Amino acid sequence: MVLKSTDQYLDSLRQMKRKIYVQGELVENIVDHPIIRPSINSVAMTYQLAMEPEHEDLMTCTSSLTGEKINRFNHLHQSTDDLIKKVKMQRLLGQSTGACFQRCVGMDAFNAMDSTTFEMDQKLGTEYNKRFREFLKYVQENDLVVDGAMTDPKGDRGLSPSEQADPDLYLRIVEKREDGIVVCGAKAHQTGMINSHEIIVMPTISMTEKDKAYAVTFAVPTTTDGIVYIYGRQSCDTRKLEGSSIDVGNSKFGGQEVLTVFDHVFVPWERVFMCEEWQFSGILVERFAGYHRQSYGGCKVGVGDVLIGAAAVAADYNGAARASHVKDKLIEMTHLNETLYACGIACSAEGRKTASGNYLIDMLLANVCKQNVTRFPFEIARLAQDIAGGILGTMPSERDLRHPEIGVYVDKYLRGVAAVSTENRMRIIRLVENLTMGSAAVGYLTESMHGAGSPQAQRIMIARQGNLDHKKKLAKTLAGVKE
């Protein structure tokens, strides 16, 4: 059995030397940086829960490659039961952190890579799947965190990668050598990148032959020379520097997004899994997107559970819990959240075995799941803000509450139900703010809209997978239409 403890994970991050910038400053120690640490705690929870017997069935499984017990985040799905447990695991972690826990992208990349490289090898006589599985064995045996990097900056969206004024606006191969390749470019919006040990890079769109230099997939350690990390800003992020346990809303956990620059990065051949095979870029993109759209039926639902709970507590503290319209809003929030979960479970239960042996979700239902995720969390957030009240955007700070002169006024006039302390009321209001307006809103709302592709991307896939001709035939048959 190879499972890292939380402390071992934190120690591994301390030992890594990388070029990381946060708000223009080079950061040597990310583990103890107040802006970064909450996101590290979220990843650490994936290690902690894997060690707890009551969560063993969801958080761990037996590797199909080594036969050893591993963290489920590093697993190749071997059944529809594995796909369902993935969604349940993600919901558990969303409930446990109230934030993005950052390991889903790597897990989804593994499973998309395995079936795609296997089919590439069958058709082209390459050995990419063997290379990939050797890499994954290494990841499993060392219980590593791997980030999947798919999103390029894209530049002018009206132009293909090779037509851009700056060719590096999509990551590309700039040199092929005897011992490997050299790449240039960047990957944007990378969730949990500096909390990861390894990176898997994938193309961001289906490539044509003229863009074959951009059809590249590989894995490198995050410590590789030539990689620069620029930490993304989030709303209210500097509150983490103030030392307030109230004003952040969720002071222990958080998410992380990073702009990752590849400045002439060398990749040895044994870590290259696609090199100009542009015909397979679209398959890889679609499968990764499908897996990641399934993921949102778990992780966003878990965070939604936290938000629904926070709204219900806010109603209690405001003295409004008995109001019929508040009860109805909480029912609607629950209905929307469980609908997302139902989609995540459905696309998992309807999965199928691929040629490589791992399981792929039902692509139509996965895209329906994500299409709903682009809408429902926003309505849940709106209702939560409605229930919380206008104080959500006007509440004084913890410093005001603790102030020797004015603290008594804050305590007196911000109290709701007399039996509930003003501090507790402030804490729950800040949590609602964090999830719907603050730093956690990046993981709950912005990712819900743009993660795994923006809404139109799912609609395109729904159109492809919807089998409209079959539906027309059913209608004509029942209507007695003869052509």
Residue 3: alpha-carbon gap to chain centroid = 22
| C-alpha–C-alpha distance, residues 164 and 144, integer Å | 36
Nearest residue to 274 (alpha-carbon basis) of 128, 394, 118, 459: 128
- Tokens read off for 166: 């700056």
104 near 292, Cβ under 8 Å? yes
Strands 198-201 and 146-149, sheet pairing: parallel
415 near 425, Cβ under 8 Å? yes
Q: Helix, strand, or coil here: 158? A: coil
- Tokens read off for 162: 């090779």
| C-alpha–C-alpha distance, residues 151 and 189, integer Å | 7
Which residues, including other chains, have CB under 8 Å from residue 240's CB and lie 6 or more apart?
A: 34, 35, 38, 248, 251, 254, 439
Helix, strand, coil abundance in the chain, percent, nearest 5: 55, 15, 30
Beta strands across the sheet bearing 146-149:
146-149, 198-201, 216-221, 272-275
| C-alpha–C-alpha distance, residues 211 and 247, integer Å | 48
- Tokens read off for 91: 């919901």
Amino acid identity, residue 457?
A
Q: Which residues are catalytic?
A: 100, 104, 191, 257, 292, 296, 299, 447
- Tokens read off for 351: 């999965």
Sign of CA dihedral 215, 219, 225, 231: positive
Q: Which DSSP symbol is given to 144?
A: -
